Amino acid sequence: MSEATAAGGTEPWPEELFTDLVGDRAAEWDRTGRIPLDTLRGLGAKGLLCAQAPAAHGGLAFSSRRNGELTAHVGALCSSLRSVMTSQGMAAWTLRRLAGPGQQAALVPRLTGGELAAVAFSEAGAGSDLSALRTRITRDGDEVVVDGAKVWTTNAAYADLLVVFGRTEDGAGAVVVPVSAPGVRIERIEDPLGCRAAGHADIRLDGVRLPADALLQGVDRTPALLVTTALAYGRMSVAWGCTGILRGCLTAAARHAKAREQFGVRLADHQLVARHLAGLLVAEQSARRACEHASDLWDEGSPDMVTAAVLAKHVAATGAARGAARAVQVLASAGSRDGHTVARALRDAKLMEIIEGSSEICELMLAQHALATAG
């Protein structure tokens, strides 16, 4: 019950809170492409959108494992809401690693206090290749000026703060941009394939002037280490979220296969259907074990967590994409309308094979690891 206590004594378990809050509204959020802003702010103010943030900054100080289990629970309910958690958590983590102590003390409590944040990496010419970033962060006296354009930033349509990666005179860094600053324009993507209510948006930054300390202290000659560090959290979160997608698909498919009859027997008694259920169970358990392993390494402070996070993300995202397709196949017309758990899963999981390192980029990193450790 330590988590319940951490969340405020008489508060329900975070899992129950999310279950009650989402209720049967995930379908509506998917169809309308919106989660009510006060819902997100309420969760944020309880520290639940970035539960690994330290207690000193108003966070719940969850371990990676505990936060992962919560992330999977939310992933099974609504991948759009889970994506918002991924963004908020990644913003908090990026501040913890790239910000100086004063910057952390000023900014992290805002993320545990109800304000929403997004992390902007991708640009039209810089997706998998983030070394090609062109957004410029220029010093001008005691200010910095930000110019550039970001695409497909998750949670940006809801966000109060944007953590924007870009080029500095010395190399690369990240700057914290309030969306209220003059020169910031958020253009919501109205028709995303999946995670439709996750607030994806393109961002224009035209001569955005900020105090110099908006630039986080972590500035490097290249973006590689900064970006790798920030993405480590995102990969863990996406991996756990995909485990949740698989859990949702497995439950939906198994219930349907037990309830529906064709040719005089339950669907589950048709061997080719049963095979789909076995495949879903294998995928869900494989993803969960990979996530548990990576989170445990994260919590131990083991350097093996870095590769384990990539592996977990890859296993979970590819497993979820295939598993969601199986679930739609089992439910057939019963699951083929927008908003249904498995219909959402099919679209949401496909995006998870693209975000936070595409499946192909993950495979390249894993291959590189295999080569580097072979001797």
Partner 1 sequence: MTKTSDQAGAATGPGAAGAGIADELLGFLAARTKTTWEHDQDLFAVGGMSSLFAMQLVVHLEKTYGITISGADLMLDNFRTVDAMVRLVHKLGGDRAAAAAGTTAGE
Q: According to the binding rule CB under 8 A, does residue 137 interact with partner 1? A: no
Q: HSE-up of 253 (CA within 13 Å, CB side)?
A: 30
Q: According to the binding rule CB under 8 A, does residue 365 interact with partner 1? A: yes
Q: According to the binding rule CB under 8 A, does residue 139 interact with partner 1? A: no
Residue choice 27, 304, 350, 363 for contact with partner 1 (CB under 8 A): 304
Q: How far is the CB of 375 from partner 1 (least distance, A)?
A: 3
Residue choice 310, 346, 349, 355 for contact with partner 1 (CB under 8 A): 310
Residue choice 32, 262, 302, 336 for contact with partner 1 (CB under 8 A): 302
Number of other CB atoms surrounding residue 20 within 10 Å = 9
Segment lying near partner 1 (by CB under 8 A), choices 63-71, 115-123, 213-221, 259-267: 213-221
Residue whose pair of structure tokens reads 């001569």 in the numeric block: 207
Segment lying near partner 1 (by CB under 8 A), choices 48-56, 108-116, 276-284, 362-370: 362-370
Q: How far is the CB of 341 from partner 1 (least distance, A)?
A: 34
Rule CB under 8 A: which of 75-114 touch partner 1?
Answer: 96-101, 103
Q: According to the binding rule CB under 8 A, does residue 227 interact with partner 1? A: yes
Q: According to the binding rule CB under 8 A, does residue 128 interact with partner 1? A: no
Q: How far is the CB of 157 from partner 1 (least distance, A)?
A: 29
Q: According to the binding rule CB under 8 A, does residue 5 interact with partner 1? A: no
Q: How far is the CB of 211 from partner 1 (least distance, A)?
A: 17
Q: According to the binding rule CB under 8 A, does residue 373 interact with partner 1? A: yes
Q: How many chain residues interact with partner 1 (CB under 8 A)? A: 37
Q: How far is the CB of 173 from partner 1 (least distance, A)?
A: 10
What is the spatial distance between Cα 339 and Cα 25, in angstroms, rounded to a whole number?
Answer: 9
Q: According to the binding rule CB under 8 A, does residue 375 interact with partner 1? A: yes
Q: HSE-up of 232 (CA within 13 Å, CB side)?
A: 21
What is the spatial distance between Cα 250 and Cα 282, in angstroms, rounded to a whole number?
Answer: 10
Q: According to the binding rule CB under 8 A, does residue 224 interact with partner 1? A: yes
Q: According to the binding rule CB under 8 A, does residue 369 interact with partner 1? A: yes
Q: According to the binding rule CB under 8 A, does residue 214 interact with partner 1? A: no
Nearer to partner 1, 240 or 298 (CB): 298
Residue choice 1, 265, 272, 372 for contact with partner 1 (CB under 8 A): 372
Residue choice 138, 217, 251, 285 for contact with partner 1 (CB under 8 A): 217
Nearer to partner 1, 265 or 374 (CB): 374
Q: According to the binding rule CB under 8 A, does residue 359 interact with partner 1? A: no
Contacts with partner 1, residue ranges (CB under 8 A): 96-101, 103, 216-222, 224-229, 232, 300-307, 310, 365, 368-369, 372-375
